[in-house]
Chain A
């Protein structure tokens, strides 16, 4: 899944993120298939976008990350993904 095709160079549209999550990520994972999220040419993503994209999936089962590949991420996008993945697994009292 090429994120750029849905967002352009700046990934900030949460509706687009939710669409990718529901039409691609969840169906693939439910079938036990790997998920490829290619961020080529995406310069930056908002925390909100990445949250809508993967936080729910990760929160439900962090092992889903073993099936998700984040490809061609800029350093900024990588940081955002790591933040979201981290707090999505945080257990709040």
Chain B
């Protein structure tokens, strides 16, 4: 593939950034950088790392337009996972208050260690830190249980100067289309992605509502978290990009209704990509201020979840709390 890594890339810029990919199998590939020294969204970096892993051996790139000295992608550990000839590898980047460099995670224990050791370092509110841990756990579980990935997952987190925490998780497994169609009718990738976000739909069972291990609500919950915090979420799988722009749901402070269906959500845009991406990449942006209680998000989620299911009207047992 030949591509330009655009400095300052945010989730909203993914359609243009991914549109430039070209399949150059068997031909020398170039990874170039523009003149910007601004951070690149972690999701894009994880995508590159996962695609390199998908190639089996280290996918080597050449560079014609190298990055500026001490480019943020270096500090995020990109060149530890993507071989670029002509670029000197830097020492492994350590997590700091504004980043968790690309981590190659292969099991739950390793993820737990990252969440325990690194998330608290981020300069984020307690609520946002909790949300980061929540998202990382849920996304990694999706990789473990649904992706069929032989390489685990690549995760990466950064924090912008505006205080937005940006998360990227990517694998090089079978992709959402193959996962969903094992249990649900999906004619194409877009339909499969829409189903994956629908609460009650799990790739592990055809039963609506999930099974013992999976409720089919993880992605919906994460989109809801992004939505209520006025931020964005994106998924790339196969040749499909789904981009949810939470900010378009309303300005900060307004009550936001969580839309359970991607197809019915005006804040969702779709793009068909020029090349096939193995596996799945998810990017989530979070910004939960101290006065926005994390548990209030779940109250909203609960309301939206109940709107999506067809249910008998009968009294339910309640959980007992002491």
Contact A79 B133 (CB under 8 A): no
Q: Which A residues are CB-close (under 8 A) to B299?
A: 79
Contact status A65-B298, CB under 8 Å:
no
**CB-based contact A83/B301 at 8 Å:** yes
Assuming the contacts A10-B137, A52-B213, asked whether A65 and B130 have C-beta atoms less than 8 A apart, the reply is no
Q: Could you tell me if B311 and A91 are in contact, using CB atoms closer than 8 angstroms?
A: yes
A80 at the interface (CB under 8 A from B): yes
Which of A14, A70, A75, A85 is B293 in contact with, Cβ under 8 Å? A75
Contact among A8, A89, A90 with B112 in the assembled complex (CB-CB below 8 Å):
A8
Task: Determine the interface band of chain B, counting residues with CB < 8 A from chain A.
Answer: 35 or more
Given contacts A47-B218, A65-B320, A68-B319, contact A12 B134 (CB under 8 A): yes
Choice from A10, A68, A84, A89 contacting B115 with Cβ under 8 Å: A10
Contact partners of A92 in chain B: CB under 8 A:
200, 207-209, 309-311
**Contact between chains at A46 and B309 (CB < 8 Å):** no
A-B contact pairs, 14 of them (CB 8 A): A47-B138, A51-B214, A55-B210, A62-B316, A65-B318, A65-B320, A66-B320, A68-B320, A70-B322, A79-B299, A80-B298, A87-B209, A89-B317, A92-B207
Asked if A90 contacts B221 (CB within 8 A), the reply is no
Per-position contact with A for B77-108: 1 when CB-CB < 8 Å, else 0? 00000000000000000000000000000001
If A13-B108, A65-B319, A92-B309 touch, whether A48 touches B141 (CB-CB below 8 Å) is yes
Bound CA–CA A74/B211 (angstroms): 26
Cβ-closest chain B residue relative to A15: B108
- Tell me the nearest residue of chain A to B215, going by C-beta: A51
- The answer to whether B317 touches A56 (Cβ under 8 A) is no
Q: Is B213 a contact of A76 with CB atoms below 8 Å?
A: no
Interface residues in A27-46 (C-beta closer than 8 Å to B) = 43-44, 46
Chain B residues proximal to chain A, CB less than 8 Å? 108, 112, 115-116, 130, 133-134, 137-138, 141, 145, 199-200, 207-215, 217-218, 221, 293-295, 298-299, 301-302, 305-306, 309-312, 316-322
Number of interface residues of A (CB under 8 A): 50
Grouping DSSP codes into helix (H, G, I), strand (E, B) and loop, the A interface class, with mixed when no group exceeds half, is: helix
Query: What residue in chain A is nearest B134 (Cβ atoms)?
Result: A46
The verdict on A83 contacting B294 (CB below 8 Å), with A44-B130, A51-B210, A90-B209 known, is: no
Closest partner residue, chain B, to A93 (CB atom): B310
Q: Which residues of B contact A66 (CB under 8 A)?
A: 317, 320
**Contact assessment for A83 and B310 in the assembled complex, using a CB-CB cutoff below 8 Å:** no
Distance in Å: Cβ of A4 to nearest Cβ of chain B: 13
The residues of A that contact B145 with a CB separation of less than 8 Å are 14
Among B298, B317, B322, residue most surrounded by chain A Cβ atoms (within 10 Å): B317
> From residue B51, how far is it (CB to closest CB) to chain A in Å?
27
B207 and chain A: residue at smallest CB distance? A92
